[in-house]
Amino acid sequence: MKHPIIHLAIALLLICSFSSCEKVIDLKLDTSSPSIVIQGNVFDHDGPYKVHISKTVAFTEPNIFPPVTNAKVTISDNLGNSETLKESSPGIYISSALKGKSGVTYTLTVEAEGKTYTAVSTMPEPVSIDRIYIRKSEVGNGREVAFDFHDPAGIDNYYRVIEYINDSLKTGIYVGNDKLYPGKIITFALGSSSIKKDSVLQSGDRVRIQFECIDKGVYEYFRTTRGNSDQSTSPTNPTSNISNGALGYFSASTVRQDSIIYR
């Protein structure tokens, strides 16, 4: 379920690896004024759910992102429930009674520094993981972790997968849709297994996957984060589902998890 262009990129990389080299360079970069960054998640398991609010920093600064404090953060649903989140630590707002449900549409409202930002997300029906296993890599000689799930027929489905190695987020976040294989059993191979023989995985590592069903807006956000950090095309900011120019996303999603020990 990887994008074919990724395969092309791998192939290109192979060609170029014959003579290419990389180095760290100094670049003079412009700096824009700080923008607000919001990330909010509602899941179908028990809360509390978190909303992170922070600011951008200049590229040359260390990766310490200033929290936005004293914001008014509200999550409401289309059933008439509404809850104002508490700031548990600077920039992190948590829910208490809210319980995510499939089919319910949630609205996030953030009032901060005199501006209001809103986002809407609908929680899809859950899809469970059929099995998780280790197999020979589809490309190269290594082995890779893969899992199967059965895509529900008749509706457009969007998925997000987060991979953790030994409980730390390692290789990243992937999204996909069922356009090509509607209603079929879909195999998803994880990126931790490199194309070379030496995998980043060591024997005994625990690989955990967080498998989410997301809505179209969230899928679009993650799809448009591809190519966020290179110059192969004109890079742009991903399409956020939050209004008023905020960066980030708000997602109501179902979550299923499974793990396997890599041997």
Partner 1 sequence: MIGATVTVKELPGTGSSANTYGYYSVTLPAGHYQISAQFMGYAPQVQTVNLNQSQKIDFQLTEQVNELKEVVVSSQRKNENITKLQMGVQKLDTKDLKNIPVIFGEKDVLKTIQLLPGIKSAGEGSSGFNVRGGATDQNLILLDEATVYNASHLMGFFSVFNSDAIKDISVYKGNEPAEYGGRLSSVLDIKMNDGNDKKLGVSGGIGLISSRVTLEGPIVKDKGSFIISARRTYADLFAKLSKDSTINNARLYFYDFNVKANYRINNKNRIFLSGYFGRDVLGLSNTYGIHWGNSTATIRLNHLVSDRLFSNTSLIFSNYNYKINVNNGIEMNIISRIQDYSMKQDFQLYWGNNNTLRFGINSTLHKIIPGIITAISDVDLKSMTNKHAWENAIYISHQYGLSKKLSVEYGARFTTFSIMGPGKFYTYDSIADPRDTMTYKTGQFMRSYFNIEPRVSFNYILNDASSLKASYSRNVQNLHQLSNSTSGSPTDLWIPSSNNVKPEISDQVSLGYFRNFCDNQFEFFTEIYYKKLQNQIDYKTGAELNFNENVESQILFGKGRAYGLEMFLKKKYGRFNGWISYTLSRTERKFDGINNGNYYPARQDKTHDISIVGIYELNKHWTFSSTWVYNTGNAVTFPTAKYQIDGKTMMFYSNRNANRMPAYHRLDFGATWLVKKTKDFESSWTFSIYNAYGRDNAYMIRFRNNELDPTKTEAIQTTLFKFVPSFSYNFKF
Measured CA to CA, the distance from residue 136 to residue 125 in angstroms comes to 32
Strand 143-150 and strand 129-136: the pairing is antiparallel
CB of residue 121 vs partner 1: minimum separation in angstroms? 15
Q: What is the DSSP code (8-state) at residue 196?
A: S
Quote the CA–CA distance of 98 and 89 in Å, as a whole number.
19
Tokens matching residue 171: 């290789």
Nearer residue to partner 1 within complex by CB, 62 or 204 = 62
Nearer to partner 1, 77 or 193 (CB): 193
CB of 108 to partner 1, least distance (A): 15
Q: Which is nearer to partner 1, 76 or 138 (CB)?
A: 138
Q: Cβ 110 to partner 1, closest distance in Å?
A: 15
The token pair at 58 is 């200049």
Closest CA to 75 of 121, 112, 125: 121
Q: Which lies closer to partner 1 via its Cβ, residue 102 or residue 187?
A: 187
Query: Nearest distance from residue 82's CB to partner 1, in Å?
Result: 25
CA distance 66 to 228: 21
**Tokens 């690989």 label which residue?**
207
Closest CA to 124 of 106, 150, 147, 148: 106
State the nearest-atom distance from the C-beta of 38 to partner 1, in Å: 9
54 vs 192 by CB, closer to partner 1: 54
Select 24 or 97, whichever has its Cβ closest to partner 1.
Answer: 24
Give φ, ψ of 14 to 5 degrees.
Answer: -60, -45
Q: How far is the CB of 185 from partner 1 (least distance, A)?
A: 9
